Amino acid sequence: MATTPVLTFQSNTSPYSQLNSITYQETIGLTTYNFVIAGNKSDHYLFRVYNNWALATGIANALNVYLTTYDGVGVASHTASTIPVSGEWVHLYEDGYGENSIQPGIFSAAAGSDTAVGGSGNIYTIQVGSDGSSAAVINAGTNNNGLGFAEITSYVSVPSNAPQESISFAISCQYEWTS
């Protein structure tokens, strides 16, 4: 009997470190800034959503996987009232997937649809499963003791009337599973 999937956000480059936060930046000419100017788009930020990075045995596959943004974590984990969330500033799309019995997995390219996300009404559903299927799945390898991942490209598109301030929000990954 498989146990709950163990999804983690990891860097898309070696050593594939676990991500705790993302700072969206904008590059103008040869200079990269730790902010995005109103009316502009940030640089693209790529990350991977892994199931079973630790290669544990008996981990279930994550089914019907989707990503969105919410105001934060804890109490704010299902509210969408801050302007980057309710205004759908964050854009997500899948650009790769993979599975394997060893880390980091074998990468295959994918071409997901650029989608503005925010709250439960505006979500990005995984378009190519970690196994290359059209199902929105991130498997725990081929026999529930490996790993699978979806590689996601993200960026923010800040409207021209946006306030000049630092705003935090959370990217959330939701899924179903069966034992």
Domain boundaries, the chain: 7-176
| Cα–Cα–Cα angle for 20, 34, 124, rounded to 5 degrees | 55
User: 147, 99 in Cβ contact below 8 A?
Assistant: yes
Per-residue pLDDT for the chain (179 aa), expressed as one digit of tens each?
Answer: 779 999 999 999 999 999 999 999 999 999 999 999 999 999 999 999 999 999 999 999 999 999 999 998 877 788 999 999 999 999 999 999 999 988 998 999 999 999 999 999 999 999 999 999 999 999 998 777 789 999 999 999 999 999 888 889 999 999 999 88
Q: What span, in angstroms and rounded, lies between the C-alpha atoms of 93 and 126?
A: 8
Question: Which residues make Cβ contacts (< 8 Å) with residue 31, sequence separation at least 6?
Answer: none
Q: What span, in angstroms and rounded, lies between the C-alpha atoms of 55 and 8?
A: 12
Q: What span, in angstroms and rounded, lies between the C-alpha atoms of 63 and 59?
A: 12
76 — phi, psi (to 5°)? -85, 10
User: 3-state class of 108 per DSSP?
Assistant: strand
Number of Cβ atoms within 10 Å of the Cβ of 6: 16
Report pTM. 0.94
**58 forms bridges with which residues in the sheet?**
none
- Tell me 178's DSSP state: -
pLDDT at residue number 1: 73
Q: What span, in angstroms and rounded, lies between the C-alpha atoms of 34 and 23?
A: 7
